[in-house]
C-alpha cells in the first residue's frame, strides 16, 4: 500500500500550480501534471479525486501561505489595535490579490464557473473564508462598541470592497500596471480610513442617561 505524505502532496501542489498558470484550467491535464511530478495518474488521483479538487487545493494553499500571518494578527487584535491590524490585513490582501498568479487563478475560475461548481467551491474556500474571519473580528469590535452595531458579514464585504477597489481592473481585465508598495500602503490606509469613518460607533444621544 502506498503511503501518502505531506511532502509529496506539497510537491504536487507546486508543480500543478505551474501547469495551471502556464496552460490554464481547461488545457491543463492530470496526465501532464502526473508526468511532471514523476508518478502515475493513479498516484495523483490518490491525493486529489479530480482536476477541480487539485486546482482548489492549489488556490487554498496559496491563500493560506500569503494571508495566514495577517489573518492571525487581525484575529488577535484588541481594542487599541484594530485600525493597524486592519491596515496590515488590507496590505496583505492587496499584495495577494494583485499578484499575477492570483489574478490568473481568478480568471480561470470565472471562465470555468459556468460549466461546473468550481466557482461556488472556490468562493467557499477563498473569499467566504476570508469574509468570515473579518466578520468575526468586526463582531468583536461591535460588541466592544468600537464600531456601530450592524451585520458583521455585510461590514466585512464593505471592507473588502473598499480594499480591493484598487485592483479590480487588474484582476479581471489584465490592466498592465503593477501594484507598487507605495500604492499598496496608500490604498490600504485609505480603505481602512473610509471604513472606520463609515462604521464609527454612534455617539451617545444628548440628554439620555446611560442604562445601568
Going from N- to C-terminal start, the domains of the chain cover 1-49, 56-198
The CATH number that domain 56-198 falls under is: 1.10.357.10
Lowest mean pLDDT among 1-15, 43-57, 169-183, 191-205: 169-183
> By CB neighbour count within 10 A (0-12 exposed, 13-18 middle, 19+ buried), where does 122 fall?
buried
Q: Output the nine-digit C-alpha cell for 92.
A: 496583505
Average the pLDDT over 145-150 and give the result.
94
Q: Over the chain, what is the mean pLDDT?
A: 88
Q: How much of the chain, in percent, has pLDDT values that exceed 90?
A: 57
Q: How much of the chain, in percent, has pLDDT values that exceed 70?
A: 93
Superfamily of domain 1-49: Homeodomain-like (1.10.10.60)
The C-alpha atoms of residue 88 and residue 85 are separated, in whole angstroms, by 5
First to last CA, the chain: 67
Average the pLDDT over 174-196 and give the result.
88
Residue 210, pLDDT above cutoff 70: no
Band of the pLDDT at 2, cuts 50, 70, 90? low
Average the pLDDT over 79-105 and give the result.
89
Amino acid at each position: 500500500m502506498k503511503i501518502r505524505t505531506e511532502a509529496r502532496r506539497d510537491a504536487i501542489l507546486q508543480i500543478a500550480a505551474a501547469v495551471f498558470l502556464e496552460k490554464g484550467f481547461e488545457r491543463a491535464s492530470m496526465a501532464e501534471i502526473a508526468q511532471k511530478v514523476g508518478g502515475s495518474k493513479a498516484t495523483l488521483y490518490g491525493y486529489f479525486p479530480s482536476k477541480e479538487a487539485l486546482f482548489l487545493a492549489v488556490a487554498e494553499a496559496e491563500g493560506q501561505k500569503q494571508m495566514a500571518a495577517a489573518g492571525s494578527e487581525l484575529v488577535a487584535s484588541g481594542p487599541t489595535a484594530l485600525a493597524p491590524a486592519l491596515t496590515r490585513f488590507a496590505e496583505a490582501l492587496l499584495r495577494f490579490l494583485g499578484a499575477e498568479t492570483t489574478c490568473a487563478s481568478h480568471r480561470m475560475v470565472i471562465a470555468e464557473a459556468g460549466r461546473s461548481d468550481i466557482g461556488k467551491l472556490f468562493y467557499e474556500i477563498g473569499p467566504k473564508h476570508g469574509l468570515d474571519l473579518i466578520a468575526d473580528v468586526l463582531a468583536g469590535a461591535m460588541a466592544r462598541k468600537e464600531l456601530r452595531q450592524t451585520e458583521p458579514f455585510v461590514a466585512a464585504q464593505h471592507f473588502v470592497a473598499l480594499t480591493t477597489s484598487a485592483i479590480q481592473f487588474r484582476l479581471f481585465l489584465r490592466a498592465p500596471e503593477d501594484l507598487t508598495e507605495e500604492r499598496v500602503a496608500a490604498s490600504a490606509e485609505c480603505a481602512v480610513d473610509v471604513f472606520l469613518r463609515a462604521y464609527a460607533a454612534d455617539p451617545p444621544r444628548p440628554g439620555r442617561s446611560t442604562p445601568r
